Structures are given as structure tokens and as C-alpha cells.
Structure 1
Amino acid sequence: MQNIYEKNFNALKIKDPLLAISLANIKPNEKFDVFMDKDPANFNIIHKSSNTPLFIGKPLEETMQKVADFSAYVHYPYLYFYGLGNGIFYRLLLGNSQLKRIVVIEPEIEILFIVFNLVDFEQEILSDRVIFLYSKLCTYHLINSLFEMDKKSKIYSKVYDLHIFNPYYEVYQDEILKLNQFFIKAIEHGVISIGNDTRDAITGIKQHIQNLPDALSSPTLINLVGNLKNRDTAIIVSTGPSLSKQLETLKIIAPFVTIFCIDASFPILHKNGIKPDVVLSLERVEATARFYYDTPEEAQEGVVFAITSIVHKRLKESITKGIKQFSFRPFGYTNLFGFHEYGYLGIGMSAANMAYELVVHSRFKRCIIIGQDLAFGDDGSSHAQNALYGSDEIKPKPENEKLFTEKYGGGGEVETTQVWKLFLEFFEKDIAQTPYRLEIINATEGGARIHGTTEMSFQEAIKMVDTTSPKPSIKLTYPEQNVIEKNIQIAREKCEDIISYGSKQKNRVEKLFLKVAKYTEELEKLNEQNNLEKINFKKLSKLLDEIDEIKKLFDEKKFNDYFVDAIQSYIFHQELDIAKLLVKNVKDELQTQAKQIEWIYLHKYWLFSLAGGMDCVIEIVKEGMMDWKK
């Protein structure tokens, strides 16, 4: 039979192998002593050299007082703490069924060892209801992954706080501040990634539907990746100010490396006599098409244009030579069609992020990055010389609005923008999650530092390239006509289901919205007449139950696949405020009734937005399919 430590340790080996390794290597009783009591929940831990106890008084009494103090957080589904203490507080907190997850960061590995010997957390570790982190292993990417593993935790961003367990842990103030910044940065990244403008998503859905027949007639992403396998060096070419100084070297090495070029760099490379192997586009906007129609046709010959299914049709039509190869971005509305051989690239937000994903999927041995400044040049330029939209397409901000990040090579900061910073974070996240040993060299020689890369001059980097034989050409194959026709029919049936299922669910939402709107009108009349005692709370309770039923749609895979990508931006920002109300603790019936009234008002607009977003998706799918007939 396993003892408590073995149960906790084996659970950690499954959920957090790095922490398990750290625990396996510690020497017990090196820094701390344990003082037990007759009551196993009343034990203290004392730091040997300073003779400082975790608890000044009786541990159990202090723990019970802390539990009482946290009664105000009884409705919080997600809580974050610095300091494990003796673990009893968290064992008691987990008795609250409303609590979905506790994250506990502990700076002393030996305290984790002690607690895991005395308190059983096995089931909660396995179910992710409690996540223990050793602070020395905490990185920004680890903290960010907490919000990625449970998407609902983002909704509670506005009520986030990093609670310090007790005064003992205040000596770790610098580390607490650093970790708190990681949390804030991760929350900001999550919120910005979702955005606040649903038009982008709606445009993406429309253009994905429009492009489906062409996409399903193109070589698959699997076919492209297969052709790129067993290659040595990839170079990703972006359009930062530093690119201009790298072009001469790139031209020399071009015959021996596979060049992945973002669309904005394509005209620049052509002007300098360089032909890329793969050009990537993932944007929805029409302006991106200019990189192709303003470049001579002969520049396109022999090039693979790896474009996503959401690009503007003018971009698609502007590529008249070479090979167009479509892939799907990892959205619900692309995944639902089931054409997985065309997916999924473009989880990041730039064509350079997409290029890196393709390099990783193709298992290159080495990836060299150039022109990836993600910052303004010393002269204030935002892009390379001869960039189609000008080297000063983006202007630096006024002094009081400037945003900075660590500079390439370290030793200072460079000015960036919110969008570039987001691209940078996606790059660093992708690099941290690369599933094999890939040599990643940042030879940009300027701009922002990209953590996880080796900084090296481009001249030094290309010395590693094998120049004994030229790279092989990329030879893609198109699907058979009967496969194309079958897939287009599957796509048609799926679009028709979006329309029929969506119309049915939208009608449910609209009916409830009208009932809620009528009820809030009644409330306002009673308020004007000073007759609030006549509020029908039974009717209110019934409406709240009906809202909960509508919210269950978000637990259905089909609903999420069909609609969430399009509506999440403005629904999410409303949910942030709804979450603030949800966690609000009420002490009596009057406060409960006030909370219910506030809840119904918040959901009046929520229902209106939901119905409007669903209607927009339905109409846009119909509109996109009309292009098929043309």
C-alpha cells in the first residue's frame, strides 16, 4: 500500500515531471525542521538557521482563521497563492465544490517535500484542481500555460490576485513581484489574443467558406511538409529594418538553404535577385494582395505560396504562377470540416510565426531568422528599405506612449508596439514548446531579443550550412478530381448544418432575450413608481434558470465549433464583467436579490450580442457559399 508521499509523488510524475525530478533529488531536513502535535493538522515548519517558524502561533488556529478570512472568496473558481505553508489550508479550501483550481507557488522545495509527506493531494493533483509549482522552475511560459490549459480561467482575469499565504513569505518579495508580472503579462496576452473586434473573425469565416473549393483542390499541407522533410537549414525572412543589410549574404547562400519568406518580403527579395522557396500569407485583409500583383509574374514561377484559407480572394487571384497551397488556421470553424490533411498552421498572429510552425512540422535541423526586428530601427524606421508600403509604414509613438522591450544582444531596450510584442510572445512560446532539438539562430542583428534563440551574426550562421550540393526542389501533387468533388460535397453539407442548427439555436436565444427585455422594462416601471417591493422574484429566478440553459450551449462541441470563434471577442469582454459579479459574496436575502437583478441586466445585452453574432455567422456562411456557384 502506498504512503501519502508516494501517492502525491506518483501523481506529480504524471502531471509535472520536472517538479517530481526536483523532489527526487532533495536532501530531507537540510533547511527545515517539522514540529508535530497530537493533532496531525497542527504541525509547524521551522527554518533551522534563522529559527523562524512558518506560523507564529498555533498552526491550526491560524489556518482556521485564514479559512474564515477567505469566506469572501467562496464563489471564486480560480485562486492563486504564493506559499504552501503546511498545506492544511489548501486541503480545507478544496472542500469547496465551486473551486475549480488552486495554483500554489512554493519557493522552498524542501517545504513541498515535507507537505507531500503529510497531506494527501493525490486526486486533486491528477484532476488539476490543485497545481503546485516550484518557484525556481516558474517561467512566463509556464504561467501562461495555466490559462491555456483551462480557457475558462481567462474569464476571471479581472478578479485575479496573487495571495501571499502568510507573513513568513514576505521575505520573498522580489520573487513575488516577478511572478506577479508573469501572471499579468499572461493575462494581457490572453485578452489581446482574443481581441475586441468580432469583424476579423466574421471576415475570416466568410473568406474560409469562399476559398474552400480552391483550398480543397490544392496540394495538402501534409504533402508540403512531406516535401520539406530531411532538410538541413531553413531561413525565415521577415521585413524588419535590419533586413536590408542581410540581402547580399542571403543571395550567396540561397541555393543551399530553404527560404521561407513572409509575403511582405517577397517584393524585396525579387528586387535583389533572390527567389524564395516558400512564401507565406495568413492575413484576411485585401492590402496583402499587393505584395503579389505589384510583383512581376516571373517572380512567382517555381515558388510555393503557402496561404491560409482565410486570405482575401484578391490575394488568391493575384497568384498566377507557381503553386498555391492552402492550409487551415487552428480555429473551430476550420477544424469542424474535418479536412485535417490541410491543417493546421497559423496559431500565431504573423506570417513569420506561421513560417516557424512549418519549419518545426518539417523537422529542419536548423532555423535561421533574419529581418525579425519586432522593433523600430535606430532611425525610427519600421520596415526594410524598398518595403512596398514604405520603410516608415508604422510611426513611432509620442514619448509618453512609447512601449519598450529588451534589445537584441541585451544591454538596453528598443521601442516596439503592442502588436509586435504580441508576435514576439508567440515566437517565444512556440520556441519554448518546440518538440525536438532544433537549433534556432536569430541572425537579425538588431531589433528585439527573442528569448530561446542563439544570437549570432548572419555571416557566422551561414558557415554552418552544407554547401556541397544545392537544395532539392519542392514537388507537390494535387488531389484526384473525385477526391476534390467528394470533399467539396462534405463541405457543402457542413455549411448547410451550420445554417440549420444555428438558426434553431439563435431562435432560442432571441426568444429569451425578448422575455428578459420585457422583464427589465417591468423592473424600470416599478422603480419609477417606487414599488420595488412588487418585484416578481419567482419570475426572475425562472429567467435566471433559462439563461443558465442557454449558457450550456457553450459546453456543446458543435456550438463551439460553429460560433465561438466569431462571437468570443465581444462575448468574452462581457463575461469579464459578469465574472466579477459572479464571485461577489452576498450576506443576506436583500443582497442576493440585488445580485440577481444586476445579473439579469448584464445578460440582457449578453443575449442580444449572442443572437446578433450567431445571425451574422449564419448569413456570412450563406454569402460565402454563393461564390461557389460563381
Structure 2
Amino acid sequence: MSILEKNIQALVSGVNEPLARKLIDFFQNSKHVRFSLDENLNIFDQKNQVFMYSDIEQEIAFFQKSILEKTLRYPFVCIYGVGNALLIKNLTLFYKHIFIFESEIELFVLALSVIDLSEELRSGKIYLVDTKEEKINAQLSLLFDQNDMFEYLGLYEMFMNSYYKKYFIDEIAKIDRIICDNINLVIRNLDPSSMIPLKCYDNFIQNIPAMLKNISFQRIIQERKNQFKNCIVVCAGPSLEKQIPLLKKYQENFVIFCADGAFPLLHKNDITPDYVLNLDCQDKTSVFFKNIKSLDKTLFVFSQSTHFDVIKLVCESKLNFSIVLSDSLYCKNINMHDFGHLDTGTHVGHMCYALALALGFKNIVIIGQDLAYNKEGNSHFNDFILGKDLDSTLNIPSLKILAYGGEDEVLTHLAWDDYRKKLEFLFANNTQAKFYNATEGGARIAFTKELSFEECCLKFGDEKKKSLEMPKILTLNRSDKLLKKVLENLKKDLNIINQTLEDAKVLKDALEKILSSNKALPLEFLLSVYKNIEHFNSFMDNNSLFQDRVLKGVFFKRGLEISKIILAKIAEEEKYLFLIITAYKVWLVLLIEKLNIRKESLQKII
């Protein structure tokens, strides 16, 4: 097997099959050759009539030395240009991850033909990024959200040699903007002071008994998957009202998924959705479910993080409902796989599309998904219960983006823009279905086809949907057995948290005592203290309970403070370690606070 074949095979078995396919296609079919190798593995650029290196060994050594000096103690490095890959191989000794960005597939082929990087590519130590890949945002959002990456995103910097800096400056500027956008997208969801992750966890814990006594999500999938091809997802944007007459006319021809905020408008207009979804961790959304007459054909689907007051209300109203576990690790860790999991995302529209995909729909029509203000400055339709201008009162930074239709711009805000990007990631990675954006307003959403709602109704609404029986709930005996099993797992979690709290407090007290001693601390002693910190870190980083992302913002804070110290480029080891110990002591205070809150949630059910 050739070196190129080994490297391509490693890409396929890793997480970069799209690049592997591109490399194979280029190698087999391309007749145009822009770059070539001489006997010294120097690369000649025929377009610019120049070699990549004037002195290959000297330039690679100089570039390597320059990168290492500028990235002292960095866990990762980003480089534009694959070059001849010798530099990349050399740098693997110094970093956990190396990201290589390149726009020329031919250069990838040349580099991977002469240097064996298969082990590093397979393990994820080296990641090659094709900057012309259509789904690059989806790739980067996954890469930067890795557990050993998101903490240190503040260290991002792009390095390139003189050749790339001269001939690829526009490509470098473009990919730099894309990278920064994706980094900011990850970071915006990592506010260490936010109580939302812990609130979602608390709701999840309190919702477990109700989940076990009502319709199993897995049973919904088993009984209803692939029963229909065409559906409509109804969201609560300002454009929704104009679509109501057509929706009412064709409601018997489509399965209708309805976001909770849009449900009162449909109910008022005698439109009966098949599914109504909610994932809001706050109790304000309970107003959407008040004074509802019996709806035998409607199934209400709630996320495990839905506020327990909403669940209480639908129980009292005797509505048919299911609580679905998200694909969050904290849901998977309690071993309730029989109940199924769903990629609920971070907003109800995302959850609607994910459920439609899980049920096997092939044509998903979207209405009311504006993700932008309309011309009057409204964020929702006129009769929206929480106020048609709700989002304008939230003080979220606004920006202009490409509008529906692709010709104008529309005003949105950061949260909506993040939702849009996450939807594009979802749509890009689910090519088994086609998404038709019939919103006819708001923001343009990539990986959807824009088509008017009327055209969609005519195209897909040609036959009546058949009636489906409501899935049955579990027997009381089965429900009680499952609850007992869940409680046993949660008791184990509580024991681990109690022990971790004790260890964290002991470590914090020890660090406080050391830092308040006002003595000159020798390097050997500081190293032994740092070893204790590393031991505690290792325990936290390798325990699935703490890597379930409930405390993701807390871990981001740890990396953020360490990154600040790394960026100071402190050569003196004693000073560096002293600052690390100081920062870690402060971080332990935050960790202890959040662990205590999580402990209180577990105690409510145990």
C-alpha cells in the first residue's frame, strides 16, 4: 500500500471522509497539474513560476522554530498551507492537535504522497481542513467543540510561511474570518455564570417520573417511522400569519410539526397539529398550553429540559405527551436507551426538524422560520402571547445578514444567527431529506431550497394523510422498575459528586494556604503542587459524569484563565506555575459552587 493510500484510508476511518473522497477523485481524474515536486521534495508552483522554498531544509527549520517560540505551552496550533508535510510531522511532538488549512487539493495529494501521517490523521492529532469544503462551518464547529479544544479557543492564531503569505493572502483572510465566526459561536454558549445548563439538568431530574409514566419516545419512533413522506414545520416568526389560510386548507394533507409559540395561533384557527414541541427550561412557556380543549390526535413532545411546571400543566389537562431525552451525555449516562434520544438542539425549531428526520420524513416544508425582525421590527406574529416584539426587549446585539431570496439584507440578532448556523449544520448533515424554506421572509438559510408555500402545497399536498393511533404508555410495573434503575444510577452520581466536592475543598484549602504563606516557593515544590492539580484535572476530565457538559461553561472558565497565563509568554517556570496555582484556586471556588447546585438537583429525586 502506498503512502498516499495509507493516509487516505486514515482520513476515511477518522472524521474526514469528504476530503478523502476529494483526494481520490483528484488523483484519479484530474488532468490539470499546477504543482510539482523536485528531487528534494520542494514544490514548484507553475502558475506563479516559483518554488515554495528557496532553501527547503533551512526554511522549514526556521518556520518550525518561529512557531514553537510563539506558541509556548499551547495545546494546539493552526497552520495555513500543508507544504510538503515535513513541518507537520516534526510538530506532532509538541501539540495535542495540529490543524492544517489548505485550499489546493493538489497540494494535499503531494504532501500525503511523501509523508506518512496515517497514525496522526486517524487519531485526530492532525486534522486537515479543506477550505473549499461546502460544509466547512459544520466541520469547524465540531472540531472546536471537542472537550480538549473548547477551553483553549482564546489561543487561536494562524501561522503560514512566506510563500503562502504572498500568494494566498485572500484565502487566508477568508478562512480566518470563518474560523473566528465558528470560535465565537462555540464561546457564546459557554458563559460560566449562566445557570441555564444547571436549570436544564434540574428540570431533567424532576421530569424523570413523568417521563416514565407517559408515552415512550422510542415507541413513537417504532410505531410511526416512515409512515409519511411530507410534513410542515410551523415556527412562530412574523411571517406566519400570512401562511395560516393555506395551512388550514392543506392541514389534512401534511403531518404538521408545531413550535410551542405558534400553537395558540393554530389552535385559534382550528388547525390541529400532529405534534407540538417545547424545550424551554423556563416556566414562561406554560402560557402556550393553558385552556386547551381535548386534542386526541395531537401528541405533545417535550424535551427533558422543559420546565416541570409545563409538564405539570399538560398532565392536569390530560394531554397526550412524551418527554424525549436529548442526545446530551447526561441523558445517555443514566442508561435509559430504551426511551430513545433526539438531537433537540438549542431552540424549538431545531427540535421539530430533528423529530421529523427521526420519523423518516423526506420532504420537510418550513414556514414561520424568519430568524429575523420584519419591517415593523417585530420578532413574532401579531398575536404572539408573549408579545410580537418580544426579542426587541432582550437587548441582544443585532446584525444584518443575507435575506430570504438572497438579494437583500435583513436585521437579526446574535442568538437567531447562532440558531441559523446550527440549523444549517443539521440540514447539511441530513441529506436523506430535502428542506423547503417556504417562510417567504426573514433570513436565508443555507442547505434549504426556497419555494413559496403555495408551490410546496401543490407539489407535496396531493393526498390525505392517514390516521395513526396514539402510542400506548408503559405499564405501571414497567415504569416503576425503570424508575428504580434510574435512581440507582443517580445515587452513584450523587456519591461521586460528594466525594469530588470533598476533594475539591481540600485542594482549594491547600492552595490558599500555600499562596498566603508569603514565602519564596522553590520550583521543585511548585511542580509537586502542580502535579496534584493535574491529578485532579485528570480525574475530572476522564470521568463521564463531569464530561456530560452540564458543567461545560465551568471547564471553559478553567481553560480561559490558563490561556491568559499562556498568552503572557512567561519563560520563568516558577512564575508561570505560581500564576497557574493562583488561577486554579479561584476556579475551584466556581467549581464547588456549581457542583453544590447539581448536588441539590439530585437530592430532589433521591
TM-score calculated relative to the size of structure 2? 0.94
Aligned equivalents of 2:390 and 2:62: distance in 1? 59
Aligned equivalents of 1:247 and 1:81: distance in 2? 51
Partner of 1:551: 537
Deviation at 1:607, TM superposition (A): 1.4
Partner of 2:19: 19
Deviates more, 1:511-520 or 1:43-52: 43-52
Deviation at 1:109, TM superposition (A): 2.1
Aligned equivalents of 1:22 and 1:232: distance in 2? 32
Alignment match of 2:517 (pick from 515, 522, 532): 522
Q: Residues 324 and 342 of structure 2 are in contact (CA less than 8 Å); yes or no, is this contact kept in structure 1? A: yes
Deviates more, 1:251-260 or 1:71-80: 71-80
Partner of 2:170: 174
Q: 1:28 to 1:112 in 2, by over 3 A?
A: farther
Deviation per CA, 1:58-98, whole angstroms, max 9, x where unpaired? Answer: 1111111112212222522211111122222112112x2x4
Q: Aligned to 2:272, what secondary structure does the other structure show? A: coil
Q: Aligned to 2:354, what secondary structure does the other structure show? A: helix
Aligned equivalents of 2:306 and 2:397: distance in 1? 32
> Which residue type is aligned with residue 20 of structure 1?
A
Identical pairs, percent: 24
Q: Residues 214 and 473 of structure 2 are in contact (CA less than 8 Å); yes or no, is this contact kept in structure 1? A: yes
Partner of 1:40: none
Aligned equivalents of 1:274 and 1:608: distance in 2? 52
Deviation per CA, 1:593-618, whole angstroms, max 9, x where unpaired? Answer: 11011111100111122222212211
Deviation per CA, 1:210-256, whole angstroms, max 9, x where unpaired? Answer: 21111011111111123332212111100000000000000001011
Aligned equivalents of 2:510 and 2:51: distance in 1? 59
Deviates more, 1:162-171 or 1:404-413: 162-171
Deviation at 1:34, TM superposition (A): 2.1
Alignment match of 2:550 (pick from 551, 566, 571): 566
Gaps of 5+ in 1: 38-42, 527-533, 626-630
1:128-147 residue pairs with structure 2 within 5 A?
128-137=124-133, 139-147=136-144
* Structure with more of its chain in helix, by fraction: 1
Partner of 2:310: 315
1:4-403 residue pairs with structure 2 within 5 A?
4-15=3-14, 16-26=16-26, 27=30, 30-37=33-40, 43-55=41-53, 57-72=54-69, 73-94=71-92, 96=93, 98-137=94-133, 139-148=136-145, 150-230=146-226, 231-293=228-290, 295-298=291-294, 300-319=295-314, 320-395=317-392, 402-403=398-399
Q: 1:544 to 1:289 in 2, by over 3 A?
A: same
Q: Residues 232 and 364 of structure 1 are in contact (CA less than 8 Å); yes or no, is this contact kept in structure 2? A: yes
Deviation at 1:337, TM superposition (A): 1.4
Deviation at 1:391, TM superposition (A): 1.2
Deviation at 1:32, TM superposition (A): 2.3
Q: Residues 75 and 583 of structure 1 are in contact (CA less than 8 Å); yes or no, is this contact kept in structure 2? A: no
Aligned equivalents of 1:118 and 1:216: distance in 2? 57
Q: Residues 230 and 363 of structure 2 are in contact (CA less than 8 Å); yes or no, is this contact kept in structure 1? A: yes
Aligned equivalents of 2:567 and 2:390: distance in 1? 45
Deviation at 1:196, TM superposition (A): 3.5
Partner of 1:607: 588
Aligned equivalents of 1:224 and 1:180: distance in 2? 44
Partner of 1:464: 459
Q: Residues 301 and 321 of structure 2 are in contact (CA less than 8 Å); yes or no, is this contact kept in structure 1? A: yes
Deviation at 1:33, TM superposition (A): 3.0
Deviation at 1:131, TM superposition (A): 1.9
Deviation per CA, 1:396-452, whole angstroms, max 9, x where unpaired? Answer: 799x95312211111121111111112111111110111x42121000000011100
Gaps of 5+ in 2: none
> Which residue type is aligned with residue 188 of structure 2?
I
Deviation per CA, 1:187-222, whole angstroms, max 9, x where unpaired? Answer: 111112333434212222222222111101111111
Q: Residues 302 and 323 of structure 2 are in contact (CA less than 8 Å); yes or no, is this contact kept in structure 1? A: yes
Q: 1:353 to 1:538 in 2, by over 3 A?
A: same
Deviation at 1:482, TM superposition (A): 1.6
Deviation at 1:269, TM superposition (A): 0.5
Aligned equivalents of 1:573 and 1:82: distance in 2? 28
Q: Residues 104 and 132 of structure 1 are in contact (CA less than 8 Å); yes or no, is this contact kept in structure 2? A: yes
1:576 aligned onto 2:560: yes
Q: Residues 566 and 613 of structure 1 are in contact (CA less than 8 Å); yes or no, is this contact kept in structure 2? A: no
Q: Residues 297 and 321 of structure 1 are in contact (CA less than 8 Å); yes or no, is this contact kept in structure 2? A: no
Deviation at 1:500, TM superposition (A): 1.9
Partner of 1:530: none
Q: 1:194 to 1:460 in 2, by over 3 A?
A: same
Aligned equivalents of 1:310 and 1:181: distance in 2? 34
Deviation at 1:394, TM superposition (A): 2.1
Q: 1:584 to 1:121 in 2, by over 3 A?
A: farther
Q: 1:302 to 1:50 in 2, by over 3 A?
A: closer
Deviates more, 1:338-347 or 1:323-332: 338-347
> Which residue type is aligned with residue 269 of structure 2?
N
> Which residue type is aligned with residue 218 of structure 2?
I
Partner of 1:628: none
Aligned equivalents of 1:500 and 1:10: distance in 2? 44
Q: Residues 402 and 415 of structure 1 are in contact (CA less than 8 Å); yes or no, is this contact kept in structure 2? A: yes
> Which residue type is aligned with residue 603 of structure 1?
Y
Aligned equivalents of 1:349 and 1:401: distance in 2? 18
Aligned equivalents of 1:314 and 1:622: distance in 2? 19
1:424 aligned onto 2:420: yes
Q: Aligned to 1:151, what secondary structure does the other structure show? A: coil
